[in-house]
Amino acid sequence: MPSENLTKFCSVCHKEKNITEFYKAKDGTHNRRGECRACTRIGYKISYDRLKKENPNILRDIHLLKTYGITSKEINTLVKEYNGCMICGRKDPGVKEKNWHVDHDKKTKTIRGVLCMGCNTGLGAFNESPEVLRAAITYLTEKKLAIPMKPKKVTRRLKKIQNYDLRDIIKEKGTEWFENEIKNIRAWKPKNAL
């Protein structure tokens, strides 16, 4: 019998419905679930609402459990235990940030710690590399050039260019000039670059 003609009674709403109105299940009659799709969805919604009432962070917790195997409550405990961000010590995850970041080591698949958003972004910007971070410290403390800043007065001509709309400049100098400028900017490298 083709499956589209098969019907089945829903164990929850007791309505007779086409078999396609039931989610597939290995052990159910005609390999379908006992309750219809609509009732299944209502069931999920009820259990979700109940879980959300018990724990407003349920969705984040599901994500955290799936990814790291810990919950937001455990993260908060870690934050308390280590007095805030484990790098900078701030007591909140960042301006406008709701959640602390779980920093993990991709190689060893371990949780390294809990960080504020800024420190987490910082680690990422430095490729999570102790060598580059050490080089950054050397740069900040010893290697810095410390050239005194002497802001110069911009001539009227340059000021005019500054206030110009870029479209006007391109119109005046041509697209070839503009493309060349872009090429030069892209090719520019600071001296002594790493």
**Structure token digits, residue 137:** 């410290």
Q: Is 79 near Zn ion (CB under 5 A)?
A: no
Q: Is 114 near Zn ion (CB under 5 A)?
A: no
Q: Any bridge partners for residue 101, and if so which?
A: 115
Please say which residue, 10 or 64, places its beta carbon nearer to Zn ion.
10
Q: Is 58 near Zn ion (CB under 5 A)?
A: no
- Cα Rg for the chain, rounded, in angstroms? 30
Stretch of 52-60, 116-124, 145-153, 167-175 contacting Zn ion, by CB under 5 A: 116-124
DSSP category for residue 153? P
Q: Which residue has the tokens 């390999």?
A: 31
**Structure token digits, residue 154:** 């911009």
Please identify which residue in 51, 58, 87, 169 interacts with Zn ion, judged by CB under 5 A: 87
**Burial (CB count within 10 angstroms: exposed 0-12, middle 13-18, buried 19+), residue 92:** middle
Q: Is 116 near Zn ion (CB under 5 A)?
A: yes
Please say which residue, 62 or 88, places its beta carbon nearer to Zn ion.
88
CB of 76 to Zn ion, least distance (A): 16
Q: Is 70 near Zn ion (CB under 5 A)?
A: no
